[in-house]
A and B are shown apart, each in its own frame.
Chain A
Amino acid sequence: MSAPAVTRRLLPTSASRRLPRWLDGLLEAIGLPLVLLALWALSALVAPNRRFPAPWTIAEAFVKTWVGDAFFVDVAPSVSRLLIGLALAAVIGIALGLLVGSVRWLRQLVEPVFEFFRAVPPPMLVPLLALTLGIGDTAKIVVIIAGTVWPVLLNTVEGVRSVDEVQRETATSYQLSTLQRVRFIILPSAAPQIMAGIRQSLSIGIILMVISEMTNASSGLGYRITFFQQNFQIPEMWSGIILLGIIGIALAVLFQLAERFVLGWYRGLKETERA
């Protein structure tokens, strides 16, 4: 949030304000990262530390490790398990959430149990489910679903509950069918809460994916990174960390795009309310 235009004109102009706007924006975006990168490179040259290899060493290791076979053996399966788990959790969470949110006695019946499940720290589900389901692909996906469904489900319930009474009455008096009600009134109205729930489930999902691969696994990103660390292949380990970071960022960006598409109207509405 920047200061209002009037104040800006009153403040003394600094050098950066005389630059064209696009350059200003670019500088803001990459300025600090470049400085940090430069510091890292400098310290690697001046005081090399085995545990913190130089950026170029990491970059080299990155290409060597992940571009090629490892991508298909470790990365792609990991990410696809994550995406499948998240997608299924979203579908189940929304569907169940619609049902539970619409039937008052049902909600009162199951809410305490569901809230408890949500409270259990998701990582504990990994060894728990491994006992029953083993360590195969299905098990890993089930673990992700088991941990990520709760925020979506409970947020959907909340969203369904808070659908405006006037909108409900409008739907009833205009004879909308149940399907129409869900599609045109309930789901869009609950969308902000549902999206918030999905956002929470994303970060939990990644954690579960990595944890389930760091324990009892023979392939996958988590496994690989641990393997590198245990075998003191430091640049490779770092490259793995960065790759996980990239995956996290990619998911966040994808989610933001989806949110902008689904909730465009919501942002417009809130801006008008604030004005």
Chain B
Amino acid sequence: MPDQTSSPTALLRVEGLRKSYGDFVTLQNISFTAKQGELICIVGPSGAGKTTLLKCIAGLLAPSGGIIELDGEPVTAPPKKMAVVFQEYGRSLMPWMTVRRNVELPLLRTTPKAERRQLVDKVLDAVGLSAAADKYPWQLSGGMQQRVAIARAVAYSPEVLIMDEPFAAVDAQTRADLEDLVRYIWTKFGVTVIFVTHDIDESVYLGQRVIVLSMPPTVVQEDLTIDLPAERDQLTTRALPRFTELRTHVYAQIQRAKRDNERRPDHEAPAA
């Protein structure tokens, strides 16, 4: 687990990131840094290239230009210290393995058996799924499956946790619980979290910073600091006037991004 007492330094550095498919430029120039222990949300309109950006950061997609560095090391392949929680939770869990086995899988080579079992029990408890350890993923609800995916990522003890619209396919009530779970995991295990979403309220509720993307060719439209209190909860935080101000601001930014895109002469529907 990363040491939180040391001075926060730039853990993840993205500079001038560019991704194009042939003539079509998805990501034009993305630059931001994430310090150790930060929770950053990335929002953008549909088609902004959020998933493309995430995959580049996660080392699953090769960028066309720019720099991505984790801990000073350039990212060319999925880095060891990074874990990804995908949106398609149903497809990222292995249906032939129990929940426990699924969470254990990334640890098989790195951790001895006794330690593994303890760790798995600990993370399953942290996400509230201790009772489901010996069930199969398809026996669980969507929200529970996503929690298993989160538990797996946390058990891996990464420095950076990447989450790609993980709650998009989950109902609103479950989503609220899962949002709080992310904050809980973040504070308890001290990971740096990059959280991509299209849900503006979610991004303001969760993040310490919100990065707003434009439409393709995508740039960072704004890097907004969320000055809400560190202790947040669904009822009070969302009722704060500052919350409303911030979310309105982000909403306006996104609307602006969409309008700017439509006004462009060579306006084209993006590929992904």
Which residues of chain A have a CB within 8 Å of any CB of chain B?
164, 166-167, 169-170, 172-177, 180, 184-185, 188-189, 191, 265-266, 268-269, 272-273
Give the contact-size bracket for chain B: 20 to 34
Interface centre among A170, A185, A191, A273 (most CB of B within 10 A): A170
* B86 and A166 contact, CB distance less than 8 A: yes
**Contacts of A188 on B, CB cut-off 8 Å?**
94, 96-97
Residues on A with C-beta less than 8 A from B224 are none
> CB of B217 within 8 A of chain A?
no
B94 adjacent to A269 (CB under 8 Å): no
B60 adjacent to chain A (CB < 8 Å): yes
- Whether A265 contacts B96 in the complex (CB less than 8 A), given A169-B60, A170-B86, comes out as yes
Instruction: Check A166–B78 contact: CB distance below 8 A.
Output: no
Q: Is the CB of A176 within 8 A of B138?
A: no
Hey, which chain A residues are within 8 Å of B106, CB to CB? 174-176
Q: How far is the CB of A145 from chain B (nearest CB, A)?
A: 29
Is B59's CB under 8 angstroms from A173's CB?
Answer: yes
Do B58 and A173 touch (CB < 8 A)?
yes
Binding site for A on B (CB under 8 A): 58-60, 77-78, 80, 82-84, 86, 88, 91-92, 94-97, 105-106, 108-109, 136, 138-139, 156
Which one, A164, A173, A273, contacts B83 given CB within 8 A?
Answer: A173
Q: What does DSSP make chain A's interface, helix, strand, loop or mixed? A: helix
Query: A172, B139: Cβ atoms under 8 Å?
Result: no
A177 to B106, CA, bound (A): 10
Residue contact A180 to B108, C-beta cutoff 8 Å = yes
A265 in contact with B95 (CB, 8 Å): yes
**A269 engages B138 (CB within 8 Å):** yes
- A residues near B94, Cβ cutoff 8 Å: 167, 184-185, 188-189
CB < 8 Å neighbour of A269 from B60, B80, B95: B95
- B157 CB to nearest chain A CB (Å): 12
Nearest chain A residue, comparing its CB with the CB of B105: A184
| Interface CB pairs A-B, < 8 A, 23 | A164-B91, A166-B88, A167-B91, A167-B94, A169-B60, A169-B86, A170-B84, A173-B83, A173-B84, A174-B83, A174-B105, A176-B106, A180-B108, A180-B109, A184-B105, A185-B94, A188-B94, A188-B97, A265-B95, A265-B136, A269-B138, A272-B138, A272-B139
Which 6 pairs between the two chains have the least Cβ-Cβ distance?
A174-B106, A166-B91, A188-B96, A173-B78, A265-B96, A269-B138
